[in-house]
Structure 1
């Protein structure tokens, strides 16, 4: 992977939303992402969640067919310049792994299931890069399964939240047969108000200068009010216009009767639920008017990807923030990182490890001691739990799962069951990274920059590793003893670790 993108190179993002799937392809022009092609399809993945939160076969097939069509447009985009993110529907689906496995046969890159607050951060990034940066803004994005609300300034989010209310989910709950009446609408508004009440005080106390809406529901509501003459002179969506839209909606008895000027057919079924959610947002947060932005999740994903190429990777900032929050020892972390990178370089080619694997190992090395903030006993398990369950900007759920396993297995005994779990999550690569981190931590047990031997790691094959320790092994009796113990742990994962020095040969 190159270190940076030159102008005119392509980037692409696939946003697998709960209502719609979107593909965006863009060129990088002087640091800006300029969209050159896009596709959108109403897949309604959230509508395919059954009563047990499993995706139905029909919903999976809709999604897979859409992704196959998207892939046909990606021939000019290199895989390392593509990101594929999935949101609330796959966060909720208990059998989501089945869909992801099927999709892996179609897609050139793995799907990243992102947490709600990460989705919110990326939405804000997309909006902020497509609007003039002036003052503090509140961004609202009503999706199919969730609604994201973000307060931020310029390109930095201050508050991010993802609430369990979306136009597809609320359609299933309150307008399932397409019928429209005051009772169903009021129930939907009440449910949305209940969700919003958890953040209302925090958000109103933080305050904002402007309110921005993005994505399909808000786009449709704003366009209808403009076409009906209910917007203001700047064609913003106002509280008065939304009130008129609600009153007009409630005159219909079924979605098939709606004749709003500008309403697209594929938005018809979910519009009542979307209006109910937006009405509750305006009410609870005391909003008078809202401007619309074309920027959304997929634009945010591409700007985030661009940042990774330009050495502005949010993931590295998140790692440093976690270290600070949990008071991890930065000097020890740097020692382990340096050793881990050295060991990685010695075996990367033979083990077919990539630069992405190197980044993962480096970040795990920085974070391997964060669990000490909870307790010394079993701190590796505490650290793993924190990495698995925290909201970490820039990381997908899969990324966090990989980091969690690396930290969980960097010390103590390795069992055959652990190997099976690690392989299930990340294959042989993740298993090898676990072992590299263990060696890097072990070599630095003295927590000192002095009196450390030079070490070299090589592999004859994936099952036979050799660690060479320079100089007289008698100078480091504790290290040699610990390496002996580590041979046993490697053997538990079916790898033979040989140790060689001038005074000691296995």
Structure 2
């Protein structure tokens, strides 16, 4: 990734009373760090405000990784209607700001935490993004920075690189609410990664659901979404000669998104979603096909009541399944590695390393692997 991929990478510091800072620019004084008064390692915090979700993670360095101290996640649908109207609607902004107020309240419980808060596709494309960023600061004290697709991909890859094995190439993808990022990766003998090319498609689960809402027949709608994504991916795969090396066993795949983790949870038969059982698991493509069929036949009420889906995400699952299916169509491998980690973890690794902590992504937010039983 280009070194100047982030629009403003300067981390800010959460101040216990005011979370002071200023989103207007660097000409004003930066917030003063508040040093912890205990002997504990310093705290770091990451906020990821996406088109669909608002997420917070607070952690401190622990051995060669980090230990999560606090977390928060809420569906806010900030990107609702952005593709059609070109701006963030007031209801969506209100939902996002309410969630960010919860984040701000949590951060006040962790004085001295160094914070970086980022926004992605919904804010990238909205005409009123600057006004929203200013409103967020005014009402929550959080200094929100909008990052571009390259930086978004870099952070996600940094979080997921621990899940890569010795195979020399990898497809790493992140299905978001407003966009989907695909990275074609080269992995060297020491496990170091080089991003050969990144594709950011303006097709996430939220905007795709809105765009195809006029097709009433569910399977027809699913196939239409799948076809669009497949068509968008073909040139990218062709440019990188992906098909030439698939049969040689040199390509691996890592998926990080709510869609993929939900698929894995369903395939595992979890009675409630458990991150430690999902993160790092291998999901076979035939199990992904089985879950896809299950979802397409599932009634709306049953989908909302499923412990791995829930009411807020149920109507977005068909779009996520379509994007996921198209990716498998283009790269017909046997399995993929499931990552319940993403921008927040990537941000935390960045912040900790910048302060001299020897963070190894392999040890960051350790996982245990669950094995999905083979179908009879």
Q: What TM-score, normalized to structure 1?
A: 0.55
Tell me if 1:169 matches 2:207.
yes
Q: CA RMSD in A?
A: 2.9
Contact 1:175 1:273 in 2 (8 A): no
Question: What is aligned with 1:212?
Answer: 254
Task: Name which of 108, 113, 116 aligns with 2:146.
Answer: 113
Tell me if 1:255 matches 2:300.
yes
1:310, CA displacement in angstroms? 2.5
Contact 1:83 1:109 in 2 (8 A): no
1:168, CA displacement in angstroms? 0.8
Q: Distance in 2 between matches of 1:182 and 1:61?
A: 34
Contact 1:180 1:255 in 2 (8 A): no
Question: What is aligned with 2:223?
Answer: 186
Contact 2:136 2:142 in 1 (8 A): no
Structure 2: give runs of 5+ residues left out of the alignment: 1-31, 271-279, 359-376
Question: What is aligned with 1:443?
Answer: none
Contact 1:71 1:106 in 2 (8 A): no
Any residues of structure 2 matched to 1:485-496 within 5 Å, and which? none
What whole-Å deviation, never above 9, does each CA across 1:364-415 have from its counterpart, x for those lacking one?
xxxxxxxxxxxxxxxxxxxxxxxxxxxxxxxxxxxxxxxxxxxxxxxxxxxx
Question: What is aligned with 2:133?
Answer: 100
Question: CA 1:239/1:256 → structure 2, altered by over 3 Å: closer, same or farther?
Answer: same
Structure 1: give runs of 5+ residues left out of the alignment: 229-233, 313-506
Q: Distance in 2 between matches of 1:304 and 1:74?
A: 19
Q: Distance in 2 between matches of 1:46 and 1:64?
A: 13
Question: What is aligned with 2:338?
Answer: 292
Question: CA 1:126/1:7 → structure 2, altered by over 3 Å: closer, same or farther?
Answer: farther
Q: Distance in 1 between matches of 2:311 and 2:214?
A: 17
The structure with the largest alpha-carbon Rg is 1
Contact 1:13 1:82 in 2 (8 A): yes
Query: Which structure has more RCO (C-alpha within 8 Å, separation ≥ 6)?
Result: 2
Question: CA 1:180/1:16 → structure 2, altered by over 3 Å: closer, same or farther?
Answer: farther
Question: What is aligned with 2:361?
Answer: none
Question: What is aligned with 1:14?
Answer: 47
1:80, CA displacement in angstroms? 7.2
Q: Distance in 2 between matches of 1:50 and 1:158?
A: 28
Q: Distance in 1 between matches of 2:217 and 2:289?
A: 16
Q: Distance in 2 between matches of 1:62 and 1:45?
A: 7
Contact 1:7 1:28 in 2 (8 A): no
Contact 2:178 2:204 in 1 (8 A): yes
Q: Distance in 1 between matches of 2:319 and 2:307?
A: 18
Between Structure 1 and Structure 2, which shows a larger proportion of helix residues?
1
1:193, CA displacement in angstroms? 0.9
Question: CA 1:82/1:155 → structure 2, altered by over 3 Å: closer, same or farther?
Answer: farther
Query: Which segment drifts farther, 284-293 or 47-56?
Result: 47-56
Q: What SS class does the counterpart of residue 262 from structure 1 fall into?
A: coil
Question: What is aligned with 1:344?
Answer: none
Q: What TM-score, normalized to structure 2?
A: 0.73
Q: Distance in 2 between matches of 1:182 and 1:108?
A: 45
Q: Distance in 1 between matches of 2:77 and 2:63?
A: 36
1:78, CA displacement in angstroms? 5.3
Q: What SS class does the counterpart of residue 28 from structure 1 fall into?
A: strand
Question: CA 1:294/1:266 → structure 2, altered by over 3 Å: closer, same or farther?
Answer: same
The alignment of Structure 1 onto Structure 2 pairs a total of residues equal to 303
Task: Name which of 269, 280, 291 aligns with 1:245.
Answer: 291
